Amino acid sequence: MLFPVAGRLLPAALALSVVHGQQYDVRVVATSDWPGREEGVNAINDLGVLVGAGLSGEGTYPRAFVDDGTGRRPLGLPANTISSVAAGINDVGDIVGWLGNTTGTYPFVLSAGTTRILPAPGFGFAFHINDAGLIAGVVETTPGLVSTILWKQGQPLVLQTGAQSTRPVDINDAGLVLLEVRNGAATEALVYDSNTGVYTGVDTGATSTQPAAINAAGVVVGGTDGPFGRGFVWTAQGGTRFLPGGTSWAVDINDAGHILASRDLEAGVWVGPTFHPLQAAVDASWPPLFIGRMNATGHILSFAYDPSSGEDWTLLLTPRPEATRYCVAGVNSTGAPALMDASGSASVSLDVLELTAGPVPAGTTGLFFFAANRVQIPFGSGFLCVAAPGRLPFEVADAGVLRHELDLRSGPANAIKSGTTWNFQAWYRDNQASPPWGTSDGVAVTFRP
């Protein structure tokens, strides 16, 4: 599929790019050229699965969709559904949103292929769901005013904050709900603990505080004093600090503490004290990028808008580790050599690197070696590609692929640090070969903060 941008046609899958030392694959995941097609991506989970809604043309109703990277598909909602919006998705794959039919608009959760309408004392909308199944949304109990509603184990709870209007802007897996609270023109932020029922104020010292996200550790980010104010980071223990520079805004923070933000109207990622612009991720003919969302595994949603045509695009930046294959793999009983690969991110703070090797015999067991130095020494029907290796835990091959999710915080791989390069190789049993085992080639990964 091709999309026109600044007079050029660009493919939906763009070239590999690099931002803050991280390689990304860039893909167009939604586009709008209203009047006509109007699409929006509303959420991304830690597996990189997207949900949203789109219009196919004028006079049509929005339809919810899910996109797992293999193609967009509509949700399996009830047959009488006229319109639908998917607003949130957790890592289990449960999806929340709202749907409309001839009798009204209703919040729903789609879990394990079954749609369930959520009870609400008025018109309701479901926005977020965490991995424990806690759902947050809003309900209109008074015309024109909305209150936050939670569904815990399917039971509704309308939060009583004493404010004119509240809405949930984010929720973490610990059950902390980040609320935007409005009283007249004033906007404040609260954190509600769904386990204890306790509210904690997010005090930034500003006349207007607009929260945007909360991560697993309870760190809150957002902006203050209008769209041209200052981005902030808040913790219950340390209070508020503001992002460096001039005009700024923070929209998301992941579990590694990386902050998706704007600085002087430029979109980028704060990694520690350094700001890394996102514009480097796309071809120079693209309009300026805007900040969107970011997940715990380093995926970034960003937006581009062309004011001359009124078109806009949603881009998904998927992290790819800086990995180089080397050495030689012998042919195994599948008739092919087992080749190494690495996916996810080489960021030590994200800790989401996965090693794979395949094809290997179906259902076989094996493990991965790792070492700081590489060699190429004859070994069985192939070569030993790592020098004096350490060993990672045994795994069982799935669909002819051996996999291991590297754990940099504990176990044998915790010796891996930022700024170092490590080499990996797979060893596996192959009872139809002689000797009855085999090895893959090697892959070298350079790790970063």
DSSP 56-109: -STT---EEEEE-SS-EEE----TT--EEEEEEE-TT--EEEEEEETTEEEEEE
The Cα 116–Cα 111 span in angstroms is 8
The Cα 134–Cα 196 span in angstroms is 14
Q: What is the CA angle 367-370-374, rounded to 5?
A: 130
Burial code (b: 16+ CB inside 10 Å, e: under 16) for 24-50 equals bebbbbbbbbeeebbbbbbbbbbbbbb
Span 245-266, average pLDDT: 91
Of these ranges, 86-100, 179-193, 220-234, 340-354, the one predicted with the greatest mean pLDDT is 86-100
**Higher confidence at residue 126 or residue 409?**
126
| Residue 395 in this model has a pLDDT that exceeds 90 | yes
> Residue 12 in contact with residue 28, Cβ under 8 Å?
yes
Give the amino acid at 350. Answer: L
**Higher confidence at residue 3 or residue 258?**
258
In this predicted structure, what is the pLDDT of residue 430?
96
Q: Under DSSP, is residue 413 helix (H, G, I), strand (E, B) or coil?
A: helix
The Cα 351–Cα 319 span in angstroms is 12
The domain limits of the chain are 10-320, 323-446
What is the DSSP-derived secondary structure letter of residue 329?
P
Tell me which residue of 347, 239, 234 sits closest to 297, measured CA to CA.
347
**Higher confidence at residue 305 or residue 88?**
88
In this predicted structure, what is the pLDDT of residue 38?
64
In this predicted structure, what is the pLDDT of residue 57?
60
- 323-446 in CATH: which number? 2.60.40.10
- Are β-strands 382-386 and 374-379 bridged in parallel, bridged antiparallel, or unpaired? antiparallel
Tell me which residue of 91, 98, 142 sits closest to 124, measured CA to CA.
98
Name the burial class of residue 285, with classes exposed (0-12), middle (13-18) and buried (19+) by CB atoms within 10 angstroms of its CB: exposed
Residues pairing with 66 in the sheet: 51, 73
Name the burial class of residue 305, with classes exposed (0-12), middle (13-18) and buried (19+) by CB atoms within 10 angstroms of its CB: middle
> Residue 76 in contact with residue 113, Cβ under 8 Å?
yes
Per residue in 330-359, pLDDT tens?
Answer: 999 999 999 999 988 888 888 889 999 999
Query: Model-level pTM?
Result: 0.80
The tokens of 357 are what? 């090797």
> Residue 232 in contact with residue 211, Cβ under 8 Å?
no
Q: Does residue 35 have a cis peptide bond before it, meaning omega lies within 30 degrees of 0? A: yes
Per residue in 176-197, pLDDT tens?
Answer: 999 999 888 889 999 999 999 9
- The CATH number of 10-320, from 1.10.287.3510, 2.130.10.150, 3.50.50.60, 3.30.420.40, is 2.130.10.150
Of the chain, the percentage scoring pLDDT greater than 70 comes to: 92
Q: Under DSSP, is residue 266 helix (H, G, I), strand (E, B) or coil?
A: strand
